[in-house]
Structure 1
Amino acid sequence: KDTQQAEIQASGLAPADDRESAIVRTLSPGAYTAIMRGKDGTGGIGLIEGYDLGPSADSIFANISTRGFVGTGDNAMIGGLIVGGNGGGVNVVIARALGLSLSNAGVQQALQDPTLELRDQNGVLIDSNDNWKDRQQALIERQNLAPADDREPALLDVLPAGAYTAIVRGKNDATGVALVEFYNIR
Protein backbone atom coordinates (compact mmCIF):
# COMPACT_ATOMS: atom_id res chain seq x y z
CA LYS A 1 0.00 0.00 0.00
CA ASP A 2 2.99 2.26 0.36
CA THR A 3 3.42 3.12 -3.32
CA GLN A 4 0.90 1.37 -5.58
CA GLN A 5 -2.28 1.14 -3.53
CA ALA A 6 -4.65 2.59 -6.16
CA GLU A 7 -3.19 0.51 -9.00
CA ILE A 8 -3.27 -2.71 -6.97
CA GLN A 9 -6.85 -2.14 -5.82
CA ALA A 10 -7.95 -1.31 -9.38
CA SER A 11 -6.61 -4.68 -10.54
CA GLY A 12 -9.13 -6.48 -8.33
CA LEU A 13 -6.28 -8.56 -6.91
CA ALA A 14 -5.41 -6.64 -3.75
CA PRO A 15 -4.35 -8.84 -0.82
CA ALA A 16 -6.95 -9.27 1.91
CA ASP A 17 -4.36 -8.60 4.63
CA ASP A 18 -2.34 -5.35 4.72
CA ARG A 19 0.74 -7.32 5.81
CA GLU A 20 0.85 -9.10 2.44
CA SER A 21 2.84 -7.66 -0.45
CA ALA A 22 1.75 -6.88 -3.99
CA ILE A 23 3.55 -5.35 -6.96
CA VAL A 24 2.17 -4.20 -10.32
CA ARG A 25 4.72 -4.04 -13.13
CA THR A 26 4.70 -3.96 -16.90
CA LEU A 27 7.42 -6.39 -17.92
CA SER A 28 9.30 -6.59 -21.18
CA PRO A 29 9.80 -10.11 -22.53
CA GLY A 30 12.51 -11.91 -20.54
CA ALA A 31 13.17 -13.94 -17.44
CA TYR A 32 12.23 -12.62 -14.01
CA THR A 33 12.60 -13.87 -10.43
CA ALA A 34 10.35 -13.09 -7.47
CA ILE A 35 11.81 -13.86 -4.05
CA MET A 36 9.68 -14.21 -0.93
CA ARG A 37 11.18 -13.83 2.54
CA GLY A 38 9.55 -13.73 5.93
CA LYS A 39 9.69 -10.42 7.79
CA ASP A 40 12.61 -10.28 10.22
CA GLY A 41 13.80 -13.72 9.06
CA THR A 42 10.64 -15.58 10.03
CA GLY A 43 9.65 -18.69 8.10
CA GLY A 44 6.50 -20.42 6.99
CA ILE A 45 4.46 -21.32 3.96
CA GLY A 46 3.79 -18.59 1.42
CA LEU A 47 2.21 -18.11 -1.98
CA ILE A 48 3.55 -16.08 -4.90
CA GLU A 49 1.10 -15.41 -7.72
CA GLY A 50 1.67 -13.83 -11.12
CA TYR A 51 -1.19 -12.44 -13.19
CA ASP A 52 -1.29 -11.18 -16.75
CA LEU A 53 -3.34 -7.99 -16.42
CA GLY A 54 -2.99 -7.20 -20.12
CA PRO A 55 -4.01 -10.39 -21.90
CA SER A 56 -4.25 -8.57 -25.23
CA ALA A 57 -0.50 -7.83 -25.15
CA ASP A 58 1.82 -9.54 -27.63
CA SER A 59 3.74 -11.37 -24.90
CA ILE A 60 2.54 -14.40 -22.92
CA PHE A 61 3.69 -16.42 -19.95
CA ALA A 62 5.99 -19.06 -21.42
CA ASN A 63 7.29 -20.62 -18.20
CA ILE A 64 6.69 -20.37 -14.48
CA SER A 65 8.59 -22.21 -11.78
CA THR A 66 9.27 -22.28 -8.08
CA ARG A 67 12.03 -23.77 -5.99
CA GLY A 68 11.56 -24.92 -2.42
CA PHE A 69 11.90 -27.67 0.13
CA VAL A 70 10.00 -30.92 -0.42
CA GLY A 71 9.01 -32.57 2.85
CA THR A 72 6.88 -35.62 3.56
CA GLY A 73 3.10 -35.95 3.93
CA ASP A 74 1.35 -32.59 3.81
CA ASN A 75 4.72 -30.88 3.33
CA ALA A 76 5.02 -31.82 -0.34
CA MET A 77 5.87 -29.01 -2.76
CA ILE A 78 2.82 -27.67 -4.59
CA GLY A 79 2.84 -25.52 -7.71
CA GLY A 80 -0.31 -24.13 -9.27
CA LEU A 81 -1.23 -23.05 -12.76
CA ILE A 82 -4.39 -21.56 -14.21
CA VAL A 83 -4.66 -22.26 -17.91
CA GLY A 84 -6.70 -19.90 -20.06
CA GLY A 85 -8.33 -20.96 -23.27
CA ASN A 86 -6.82 -20.11 -26.63
CA GLY A 87 -8.53 -20.35 -30.01
CA GLY A 88 -8.80 -24.15 -29.74
CA GLY A 89 -9.80 -24.13 -26.09
CA VAL A 90 -6.85 -26.26 -24.98
CA ASN A 91 -3.19 -25.72 -24.15
CA VAL A 92 -0.19 -28.03 -24.39
CA VAL A 93 1.80 -27.86 -21.16
CA ILE A 94 4.97 -29.56 -19.97
CA ALA A 95 5.38 -29.90 -16.20
CA ARG A 96 8.74 -30.92 -14.73
CA ALA A 97 10.18 -31.52 -11.27
CA LEU A 98 13.94 -31.16 -11.00
CA GLY A 99 16.09 -32.35 -8.13
CA LEU A 100 19.44 -33.79 -9.14
CA SER A 101 19.80 -31.19 -11.89
CA LEU A 102 19.88 -28.59 -9.13
CA SER A 103 22.90 -30.30 -7.56
CA ASN A 104 24.79 -29.69 -10.80
CA ALA A 105 23.92 -26.00 -10.40
CA GLY A 106 25.36 -25.92 -6.87
CA VAL A 107 22.10 -26.20 -4.91
CA GLN A 108 22.66 -27.96 -1.59
CA GLN A 109 20.39 -30.79 -0.35
CA ALA A 110 18.72 -31.31 -3.74
CA LEU A 111 15.96 -33.91 -3.81
CA GLN A 112 17.52 -37.08 -5.21
CA ASP A 113 14.50 -38.70 -6.88
CA PRO A 114 11.38 -36.52 -7.24
CA THR A 115 7.94 -37.72 -8.33
CA LEU A 116 5.31 -35.52 -9.96
CA GLU A 117 1.51 -35.55 -9.98
CA LEU A 118 -0.74 -33.24 -11.99
CA ARG A 119 -4.23 -32.72 -10.56
CA ASP A 120 -7.22 -30.69 -11.71
CA GLN A 121 -9.10 -28.12 -9.62
CA ASN A 122 -11.14 -30.91 -8.00
CA GLY A 123 -8.04 -32.83 -6.93
CA VAL A 124 -8.55 -35.51 -9.59
CA LEU A 125 -5.27 -37.05 -10.79
CA ILE A 126 -4.71 -36.09 -14.44
CA ASP A 127 -1.22 -37.54 -14.89
CA SER A 128 1.83 -38.65 -12.92
CA ASN A 129 5.44 -39.57 -13.54
CA ASP A 130 8.52 -40.77 -11.70
CA ASN A 131 11.25 -40.94 -14.37
CA TRP A 132 10.72 -38.83 -17.48
CA LYS A 133 12.12 -41.39 -19.94
CA ASP A 134 9.54 -44.00 -18.87
CA ARG A 135 7.02 -42.43 -21.25
CA GLN A 136 6.66 -39.42 -23.56
CA GLN A 137 10.43 -39.31 -24.07
CA ALA A 138 10.29 -38.36 -27.75
CA LEU A 139 7.62 -35.68 -27.19
CA ILE A 140 9.57 -34.05 -24.36
CA GLU A 141 12.89 -34.23 -26.22
CA ARG A 142 11.26 -32.64 -29.28
CA GLN A 143 10.50 -29.57 -27.13
CA ASN A 144 14.12 -29.44 -25.85
CA LEU A 145 12.81 -29.74 -22.29
CA ALA A 146 14.22 -33.09 -21.24
CA PRO A 147 15.42 -33.08 -17.62
CA ALA A 148 19.18 -33.58 -17.26
CA ASP A 149 18.75 -36.61 -14.99
CA ASP A 150 16.71 -39.67 -15.97
CA ARG A 151 15.26 -39.88 -12.44
CA GLU A 152 13.52 -36.53 -12.77
CA PRO A 153 9.86 -36.54 -13.87
CA ALA A 154 8.26 -34.66 -16.73
CA LEU A 155 4.75 -34.68 -18.19
CA LEU A 156 3.35 -33.37 -21.45
CA ASP A 157 -0.40 -32.88 -21.30
CA VAL A 158 -3.10 -31.23 -23.39
CA LEU A 159 -5.18 -29.25 -20.88
CA PRO A 160 -8.49 -27.46 -21.25
CA ALA A 161 -8.87 -24.09 -19.54
CA GLY A 162 -8.94 -24.49 -15.76
CA ALA A 163 -6.87 -24.63 -12.58
CA TYR A 164 -4.21 -27.30 -12.07
CA THR A 165 -1.86 -28.33 -9.28
CA ALA A 166 1.51 -30.03 -9.59
CA ILE A 167 2.56 -31.97 -6.49
CA VAL A 168 6.21 -32.90 -5.99
CA ARG A 169 7.21 -35.59 -3.52
CA GLY A 170 10.39 -37.48 -2.87
CA LYS A 171 10.39 -41.14 -3.85
CA ASN A 172 10.31 -43.33 -0.72
CA ASP A 173 9.57 -40.20 1.40
CA ALA A 174 12.94 -38.61 0.61
CA THR A 175 13.23 -34.89 1.32
CA GLY A 176 15.22 -32.08 -0.25
CA VAL A 177 15.16 -29.01 -2.46
CA ALA A 178 13.36 -29.25 -5.82
CA LEU A 179 12.13 -27.07 -8.64
CA VAL A 180 8.65 -27.48 -10.11
CA GLU A 181 7.96 -25.75 -13.41
CA PHE A 182 5.40 -25.41 -16.16
CA TYR A 183 6.07 -24.61 -19.81
CA ASN A 184 3.45 -23.34 -22.24
CA ILE A 185 3.99 -25.23 -25.50
CA ARG A 186 2.19 -23.61 -28.41
Structure 2
Amino acid sequence: MFKTSSSARHHETFYVKKKFPSQSVRAHRSIREGGFFNLRVLGSVLACTAAVGLALTALAYEPAASVPARLATSIVVNTTRQDLAATPEAATLSNLSARSFVQTGDNLMIGGFIVQGPGTKRVIIRAIGPELSQYGVPNAMADPTLELHDGTGALIGRNDNWQTTIIGGIITHDQVQDIQNSGHAPADARESAIIGDLSPGNYTAIVRGVNETTGIALVEVYDIGTDTTSILSNISTRSFVQNGDNVMIGGFIVQGTGTKRVIIRAIGPELSQYGVPTPLADPTLELHDGTGALIGFNNDWQHTVIGGIITHDQVQDIINSGHAPSDALESAIIADLPTGNYTAIVRAVNIEVGTALVEVYDLSGSQ
Protein backbone atom coordinates (compact mmCIF):
# COMPACT_ATOMS: atom_id res chain seq x y z
CA MET A 1 0.00 0.00 0.00
CA PHE A 2 1.66 3.20 -1.15
CA LYS A 3 1.00 6.90 -1.42
CA THR A 4 2.98 9.70 -3.02
CA SER A 5 2.67 13.30 -1.97
CA SER A 6 4.10 16.36 -3.70
CA SER A 7 5.76 19.07 -1.66
CA ALA A 8 8.05 21.93 -2.76
CA ARG A 9 9.39 22.27 -6.29
CA HIS A 10 11.34 19.19 -7.35
CA HIS A 11 10.41 17.49 -4.07
CA GLU A 12 8.29 14.40 -3.57
CA THR A 13 7.47 12.19 -0.60
CA PHE A 14 7.06 8.45 -1.12
CA TYR A 15 5.14 6.56 1.57
CA VAL A 16 5.85 2.87 2.25
CA LYS A 17 3.42 1.50 4.83
CA LYS A 18 4.24 -2.20 4.78
CA LYS A 19 7.50 -4.12 4.81
CA PHE A 20 8.18 -6.50 1.93
CA PRO A 21 11.42 -7.59 0.23
CA SER A 22 10.77 -5.32 -2.74
CA GLN A 23 8.10 -2.76 -3.49
CA SER A 24 7.33 -0.53 -6.44
CA VAL A 25 6.18 3.04 -5.83
CA ARG A 26 4.67 5.23 -8.52
CA ALA A 27 5.16 8.98 -8.39
CA HIS A 28 2.54 11.55 -9.35
CA ARG A 29 5.11 13.41 -11.42
CA SER A 30 8.75 13.20 -12.52
CA ILE A 31 11.66 14.56 -10.49
CA ARG A 32 14.77 16.23 -11.89
CA GLU A 33 18.02 14.32 -11.56
CA GLY A 34 19.73 15.57 -8.43
CA GLY A 35 16.43 16.86 -7.04
CA PHE A 36 15.52 15.97 -3.49
CA PHE A 37 12.74 13.71 -2.31
CA ASN A 38 11.76 11.98 0.94
CA LEU A 39 11.05 8.32 1.49
CA ARG A 40 8.71 7.63 4.40
CA VAL A 41 9.15 4.01 5.50
CA LEU A 42 6.84 2.70 8.22
CA GLY A 43 6.51 6.13 9.75
CA SER A 44 10.09 7.42 9.50
CA VAL A 45 11.45 9.79 6.87
CA LEU A 46 14.72 9.26 4.99
CA ALA A 47 16.01 12.13 2.86
CA CYS A 48 17.27 11.02 -0.57
CA THR A 49 18.24 12.45 -3.94
CA ALA A 50 17.38 11.26 -7.40
CA ALA A 51 21.10 10.78 -8.07
CA VAL A 52 21.91 8.71 -5.00
CA GLY A 53 19.32 7.50 -2.49
CA LEU A 54 20.21 4.57 -0.26
CA ALA A 55 16.55 3.66 -0.35
CA LEU A 56 16.59 2.75 -4.04
CA THR A 57 17.66 -0.54 -5.55
CA ALA A 58 16.86 0.57 -9.08
CA LEU A 59 16.63 3.94 -10.78
CA ALA A 60 15.31 4.64 -14.25
CA TYR A 61 15.52 7.92 -16.12
CA GLU A 62 13.60 9.29 -19.03
CA PRO A 63 15.41 11.62 -21.44
CA ALA A 64 14.14 15.12 -22.12
CA ALA A 65 15.27 17.31 -24.99
CA SER A 66 15.90 20.55 -23.19
CA VAL A 67 15.90 19.73 -19.48
CA PRO A 68 18.08 17.55 -17.26
CA ALA A 69 17.19 13.87 -17.00
CA ARG A 70 14.27 13.17 -14.69
CA LEU A 71 13.45 10.30 -12.38
CA ALA A 72 10.96 8.02 -14.06
CA THR A 73 7.51 7.61 -12.56
CA SER A 74 8.42 4.35 -10.86
CA ILE A 75 11.09 3.43 -8.33
CA VAL A 76 11.73 0.15 -6.60
CA VAL A 77 12.21 0.21 -2.84
CA ASN A 78 13.96 -2.52 -0.88
CA THR A 79 12.48 -2.36 2.61
CA THR A 80 14.53 -5.22 4.07
CA ARG A 81 17.88 -3.50 3.74
CA GLN A 82 19.62 -2.39 6.92
CA ASP A 83 19.55 1.26 5.83
CA LEU A 84 15.74 1.14 5.90
CA ALA A 85 15.45 -0.01 9.52
CA ALA A 86 13.07 2.87 10.19
CA THR A 87 11.26 3.58 13.42
CA PRO A 88 7.78 1.99 13.18
CA GLU A 89 4.59 4.03 13.25
CA ALA A 90 3.37 4.98 16.71
CA ALA A 91 0.32 3.22 18.08
CA THR A 92 -3.02 4.80 17.20
CA LEU A 93 -6.70 4.20 17.95
CA SER A 94 -8.67 2.77 15.06
CA ASN A 95 -11.85 0.89 14.14
CA LEU A 96 -14.24 2.13 16.78
CA SER A 97 -17.55 0.50 17.67
CA ALA A 98 -20.35 0.59 20.23
CA ARG A 99 -23.28 -1.74 20.91
CA SER A 100 -26.35 -0.89 22.93
CA PHE A 101 -30.13 -1.07 23.11
CA VAL A 102 -31.43 1.71 20.87
CA GLN A 103 -34.76 3.25 21.80
CA THR A 104 -36.49 6.44 20.69
CA GLY A 105 -36.50 10.12 21.63
CA ASP A 106 -33.47 10.93 23.79
CA ASN A 107 -32.50 7.26 24.06
CA LEU A 108 -30.94 6.83 20.62
CA MET A 109 -27.36 5.62 20.19
CA ILE A 110 -24.93 8.49 19.59
CA GLY A 111 -21.31 7.76 18.68
CA GLY A 112 -18.71 10.51 18.66
CA PHE A 113 -15.16 10.64 17.34
CA ILE A 114 -12.48 13.15 16.42
CA VAL A 115 -10.34 13.31 13.29
CA GLN A 116 -7.02 14.77 14.40
CA GLY A 117 -4.14 15.91 12.21
CA PRO A 118 -3.51 18.06 9.15
CA GLY A 119 -5.02 15.80 6.50
CA THR A 120 -8.40 14.25 5.81
CA LYS A 121 -9.36 10.82 7.10
CA ARG A 122 -11.30 8.37 4.91
CA VAL A 123 -13.70 6.29 6.99
CA ILE A 124 -16.68 4.03 6.61
CA ILE A 125 -19.39 4.37 9.26
CA ARG A 126 -21.89 1.54 9.67
CA ALA A 127 -25.16 0.95 11.55
CA ILE A 128 -25.61 -2.78 12.08
CA GLY A 129 -28.71 -4.59 13.34
CA PRO A 130 -29.99 -7.79 11.66
CA GLU A 131 -26.47 -9.25 11.41
CA LEU A 132 -26.21 -9.36 15.21
CA SER A 133 -28.79 -12.14 15.41
CA GLN A 134 -26.19 -14.47 13.86
CA TYR A 135 -24.14 -14.05 17.02
CA GLY A 136 -26.95 -14.83 19.43
CA VAL A 137 -27.77 -11.21 20.26
CA PRO A 138 -31.45 -11.01 21.26
CA ASN A 139 -33.74 -8.24 20.03
CA ALA A 140 -31.45 -7.09 17.23
CA MET A 141 -32.69 -3.92 15.56
CA ALA A 142 -34.43 -4.90 12.32
CA ASP A 143 -33.76 -1.78 10.25
CA PRO A 144 -31.24 0.77 11.58
CA THR A 145 -30.71 4.17 9.96
CA LEU A 146 -27.56 6.27 10.17
CA GLU A 147 -26.89 10.01 10.36
CA LEU A 148 -23.50 11.76 10.34
CA HIS A 149 -23.18 15.24 11.88
CA ASP A 150 -20.19 17.57 11.99
CA GLY A 151 -18.93 19.58 14.96
CA THR A 152 -21.54 22.30 14.44
CA GLY A 153 -24.34 19.74 14.63
CA ALA A 154 -25.12 20.03 10.92
CA LEU A 155 -26.29 16.87 9.16
CA ILE A 156 -23.64 16.05 6.54
CA GLY A 157 -24.69 12.55 5.52
CA ARG A 158 -27.38 9.95 6.05
CA ASN A 159 -28.29 6.46 4.94
CA ASP A 160 -31.11 3.95 5.25
CA ASN A 161 -30.16 0.64 3.61
CA TRP A 162 -26.57 0.71 2.34
CA GLN A 163 -27.44 -0.47 -1.18
CA THR A 164 -29.34 2.77 -1.76
CA THR A 165 -27.18 5.89 -1.56
CA ILE A 166 -28.76 9.14 -0.35
CA ILE A 167 -27.00 12.05 -2.07
CA GLY A 168 -26.45 15.14 0.08
CA GLY A 169 -23.86 16.85 2.25
CA ILE A 170 -20.50 15.09 1.87
CA ILE A 171 -22.13 12.29 -0.17
CA THR A 172 -21.85 13.45 -3.77
CA HIS A 173 -22.11 10.20 -5.74
CA ASP A 174 -23.41 6.64 -5.50
CA GLN A 175 -21.40 4.84 -2.78
CA VAL A 176 -22.52 1.24 -3.22
CA GLN A 177 -19.43 0.12 -5.15
CA ASP A 178 -17.12 2.04 -2.80
CA ILE A 179 -18.72 0.32 0.19
CA GLN A 180 -18.25 -3.09 -1.42
CA ASN A 181 -14.66 -2.29 -2.33
CA SER A 182 -13.89 -1.19 1.24
CA GLY A 183 -14.25 -4.76 2.50
CA HIS A 184 -16.79 -3.58 5.10
CA ALA A 185 -20.09 -3.93 3.27
CA PRO A 186 -22.85 -4.82 5.77
CA ALA A 187 -24.14 -8.38 5.59
CA ASP A 188 -27.80 -7.34 5.45
CA ALA A 189 -29.33 -4.95 2.92
CA ARG A 190 -31.34 -3.21 5.67
CA GLU A 191 -28.20 -2.08 7.45
CA SER A 192 -26.70 1.33 6.73
CA ALA A 193 -23.29 2.69 5.76
CA ILE A 194 -21.62 5.96 4.76
CA ILE A 195 -18.13 6.57 3.39
CA GLY A 196 -16.67 9.98 4.12
CA ASP A 197 -13.41 11.85 3.55
CA LEU A 198 -13.47 13.86 6.76
CA SER A 199 -11.50 16.98 7.57
CA PRO A 200 -10.03 17.37 11.07
CA GLY A 201 -12.78 18.01 13.61
CA ASN A 202 -15.51 16.46 15.75
CA TYR A 203 -18.14 14.12 14.29
CA THR A 204 -21.25 12.39 15.60
CA ALA A 205 -22.95 9.28 14.22
CA ILE A 206 -26.58 8.73 15.29
CA VAL A 207 -28.36 5.38 14.96
CA ARG A 208 -32.18 5.23 14.96
CA GLY A 209 -34.74 2.57 14.09
CA VAL A 210 -36.98 3.01 11.05
CA ASN A 211 -40.48 4.06 12.13
CA GLU A 212 -39.35 4.47 15.77
CA THR A 213 -38.55 0.78 16.15
CA THR A 214 -36.18 -0.32 18.92
CA GLY A 215 -33.57 -3.02 19.39
CA ILE A 216 -29.87 -3.71 19.91
CA ALA A 217 -27.64 -2.13 17.28
CA LEU A 218 -23.97 -1.56 16.58
CA VAL A 219 -22.38 1.64 15.30
CA GLU A 220 -18.88 1.32 13.82
CA VAL A 221 -16.22 3.62 12.38
CA TYR A 222 -13.47 1.99 10.29
CA ASP A 223 -10.36 3.81 9.11
CA ILE A 224 -10.04 2.83 5.43
CA GLY A 225 -7.67 5.57 4.28
CA THR A 226 -3.98 5.37 3.42
CA ASP A 227 -3.10 8.83 4.76
CA THR A 228 -1.16 8.41 8.01
CA THR A 229 -1.01 12.14 8.79
CA SER A 230 -4.45 12.11 10.46
CA ILE A 231 -5.81 9.73 13.08
CA LEU A 232 -9.04 8.85 14.85
CA SER A 233 -8.98 9.91 18.49
CA ASN A 234 -11.11 10.56 21.56
CA ILE A 235 -14.09 8.32 20.93
CA SER A 236 -17.40 8.25 22.80
CA THR A 237 -20.83 6.65 22.75
CA ARG A 238 -24.01 7.71 24.53
CA SER A 239 -27.00 5.44 24.95
CA PHE A 240 -29.58 4.11 27.41
CA VAL A 241 -28.07 1.45 29.69
CA GLN A 242 -30.22 -1.30 31.11
CA ASN A 243 -29.46 -4.75 32.53
CA GLY A 244 -28.66 -8.16 31.11
CA ASP A 245 -27.88 -7.97 27.40
CA ASN A 246 -28.83 -4.29 27.23
CA VAL A 247 -25.62 -2.87 28.67
CA MET A 248 -23.44 -0.47 26.66
CA ILE A 249 -20.39 -1.99 24.97
CA GLY A 250 -17.70 0.15 23.38
CA GLY A 251 -14.95 -1.39 21.28
CA PHE A 252 -11.71 -0.02 19.89
CA ILE A 253 -8.44 -1.21 18.41
CA VAL A 254 -4.90 -0.10 19.25
CA GLN A 255 -2.96 -0.35 16.01
CA GLY A 256 0.74 0.13 15.24
CA THR A 257 3.67 -0.57 17.51
CA GLY A 258 4.43 0.25 21.10
CA THR A 259 1.67 1.04 23.58
CA LYS A 260 -1.16 3.56 23.64
CA ARG A 261 -1.92 5.40 26.88
CA VAL A 262 -5.64 6.05 27.27
CA ILE A 263 -8.20 6.99 29.87
CA ILE A 264 -11.56 5.25 29.63
CA ARG A 265 -14.53 6.84 31.41
CA ALA A 266 -18.11 5.84 32.26
CA ILE A 267 -20.16 9.01 32.74
CA GLY A 268 -23.70 9.30 34.14
CA PRO A 269 -24.61 12.00 36.67
CA GLU A 270 -22.70 14.71 34.76
CA LEU A 271 -25.09 14.35 31.82
CA SER A 272 -27.88 16.02 33.79
CA GLN A 273 -25.99 19.33 33.38
CA TYR A 274 -26.64 19.08 29.64
CA GLY A 275 -30.35 18.40 29.87
CA VAL A 276 -30.10 14.64 29.36
CA PRO A 277 -33.10 13.03 31.08
CA THR A 278 -32.68 10.02 33.38
CA PRO A 279 -28.87 9.87 33.47
CA LEU A 280 -27.43 6.68 34.92
CA ALA A 281 -26.84 7.45 38.61
CA ASP A 282 -23.89 5.14 39.28
CA PRO A 283 -22.17 3.60 36.23
CA THR A 284 -19.48 0.94 36.53
CA LEU A 285 -16.74 0.29 33.99
CA GLU A 286 -15.07 -2.91 32.80
CA LEU A 287 -12.16 -3.22 30.36
CA HIS A 288 -11.67 -6.47 28.46
CA ASP A 289 -8.92 -7.51 26.06
CA GLY A 290 -9.28 -9.29 22.72
CA THR A 291 -9.68 -12.69 24.38
CA GLY A 292 -12.59 -11.43 26.46
CA ALA A 293 -10.57 -11.47 29.68
CA LEU A 294 -11.37 -8.78 32.24
CA ILE A 295 -8.20 -6.67 32.60
CA GLY A 296 -9.55 -3.68 34.54
CA PHE A 297 -12.57 -2.64 36.60
CA ASN A 298 -13.74 0.53 38.33
CA ASN A 299 -16.76 1.67 40.30
CA ASP A 300 -16.32 5.31 41.40
CA TRP A 301 -13.12 6.82 40.05
CA GLN A 302 -11.84 8.05 43.41
CA HIS A 303 -11.49 4.45 44.55
CA THR A 304 -9.02 2.41 42.48
CA VAL A 305 -9.70 -1.31 42.12
CA ILE A 306 -6.33 -3.08 41.87
CA GLY A 307 -6.23 -6.01 39.44
CA GLY A 308 -5.31 -6.95 35.89
CA ILE A 309 -3.45 -4.07 34.25
CA ILE A 310 -4.24 -1.77 37.21
CA THR A 311 -1.29 -2.20 39.56
CA HIS A 312 -1.36 0.98 41.65
CA ASP A 313 -3.71 3.71 42.87
CA GLN A 314 -4.83 5.74 39.83
CA VAL A 315 -6.64 8.67 41.44
CA GLN A 316 -3.77 11.17 41.03
CA ASP A 317 -3.07 9.96 37.48
CA ILE A 318 -6.73 10.51 36.58
CA ILE A 319 -6.64 14.02 38.02
CA ASN A 320 -3.36 14.81 36.21
CA SER A 321 -4.82 13.59 32.89
CA GLY A 322 -7.21 16.53 32.78
CA HIS A 323 -10.13 14.14 32.28
CA ALA A 324 -11.22 13.40 35.84
CA PRO A 325 -14.99 12.83 35.96
CA SER A 326 -16.95 15.63 37.61
CA ASP A 327 -18.97 13.27 39.83
CA ALA A 328 -17.50 10.83 42.37
CA LEU A 329 -20.01 8.14 41.30
CA GLU A 330 -18.60 8.03 37.76
CA SER A 331 -15.84 5.60 36.80
CA ALA A 332 -12.47 5.79 35.05
CA ILE A 333 -9.46 3.63 34.19
CA ILE A 334 -6.05 4.68 32.85
CA ALA A 335 -4.25 2.03 30.82
CA ASP A 336 -1.10 1.61 28.74
CA LEU A 337 -2.40 -0.78 26.08
CA PRO A 338 -0.36 -2.81 23.59
CA THR A 339 -1.74 -3.33 20.09
CA GLY A 340 -4.93 -5.36 20.00
CA ASN A 341 -8.71 -5.27 20.41
CA TYR A 342 -10.36 -3.90 23.56
CA THR A 343 -13.90 -3.66 24.90
CA ALA A 344 -15.27 -1.28 27.53
CA ILE A 345 -18.55 -2.29 29.17
CA VAL A 346 -20.75 0.13 31.11
CA ARG A 347 -23.26 -1.33 33.52
CA ALA A 348 -25.51 0.04 36.22
CA VAL A 349 -24.95 -0.67 39.90
CA ASN A 350 -27.70 -3.04 41.08
CA ILE A 351 -30.78 -2.79 38.83
CA GLU A 352 -30.66 0.90 37.93
CA VAL A 353 -31.17 2.09 34.36
CA GLY A 354 -30.39 5.36 32.63
CA THR A 355 -28.44 7.18 29.93
CA ALA A 356 -24.64 6.92 30.12
CA LEU A 357 -21.58 7.89 28.13
CA VAL A 358 -18.50 5.73 27.55
CA GLU A 359 -15.39 7.58 26.39
CA VAL A 360 -11.82 6.74 25.35
CA TYR A 361 -9.31 9.60 25.37
CA ASP A 362 -5.84 9.29 23.86
CA LEU A 363 -3.33 10.46 26.48
CA SER A 364 -0.16 9.59 24.56
CA GLY A 365 2.15 12.57 24.42
CA SER A 366 0.20 14.45 27.07
CA GLN A 367 1.79 12.88 30.13
TM-score by length of 1: 0.94
Large movers: runs of 4+ above 6 Å: none
Q: Does 1:27 align with 2:198?
A: yes
Matched residue type, 1:127 = G
Of stretches 2-11 and 105-114 in structure 1, the one that deviates more from structure 2 is 2-11
Counterpart check, 1:104 vs 2:273: yes
Residue in structure 2 matched with residue 48 of structure 1 by the alignment = 219
Q: Distance in 2 between matches of 1:59 and 1:133?
A: 34
Aligned length: 184
Which of residues 323, 331, 334 is equivalent to 1:145?
323
Correspondence for 1:175 = 353
Partner of 2:287: 118
Q: Which runs of 5+ in 1 are unaligned?
A: none
**1:81 CA displacement:** 1.1
Structure 2: how far apart are the matches of 1:47 and 1:37?
Answer: 11
Q: Distance in 2 between matches of 1:149 and 1:164?
A: 25
Kept in 2: contact 1:96–1:154 (CA 8 A): yes
Q: What SS class does the counterpart of residue 288 from structure 2 fall into?
A: strand
Please state if 1:157 is matched with 2:326: no
Partner of 1:91: 260
Structure 2 letter corresponding to 1:129: N
Partner of residue 77 from structure 1, selected from 236, 248, 253: 248
Decide which structure has the larger Cα Rg and report it.
Answer: 2
- SS of equivalent to 1:96: strand
Which ranges of structure 2 fall in alignment gaps of 5 or more residues?
Answer: 1-162, 166-173, 305-313
**Are the aligned partners of 1:70 and 1:170 in contact in 2 as well (CA < 8 Å)?**
yes
Deviation of residue 184 (structure 1)?
Answer: 1.7
- Please state how far the C-alpha of 1:73 moved relative to its aligned partner: 2.0
Rounded to whole Å, the distance in 2 between the matches of 1:17 and 1:108 is 33
Paired letter, 2:187: A
Greater relative contact order (Cα < 8 A, sep 6+): 1
Give the share of equivalent positions with the same residue, in percent: 53
Alignment RMSD (CA, Å): 1.2
Asked if the contact 2:251–2:342 (Cα under 8 Å) also holds between the matched residues in 1, the reply is: yes
Bigger helix share = 1
What's the offset of the Cα at 1:55?
Answer: 5.0
Q: Deviations over 1:45-77 (max 9, x none)?
A: 111100111253312111111111111122211
SS of corresponding position for 1:107: coil
Q: Which amino acid in structure 1 is aligned with residue 244 of structure 2?
A: G
Contact 1:61–1:184 (CA<8 Å) still a contact in 2?
no
Residue by residue over 1:28-48, the C-alpha shift from the partner in whole angstroms, topping out at 9 and shown as x without a partner, is 111100001111111111111
Say which is worse superposed, 55-64 or 94-103, in terms of deviation. Answer: 55-64
Counterpart residue identity of residue 158, structure 1: D
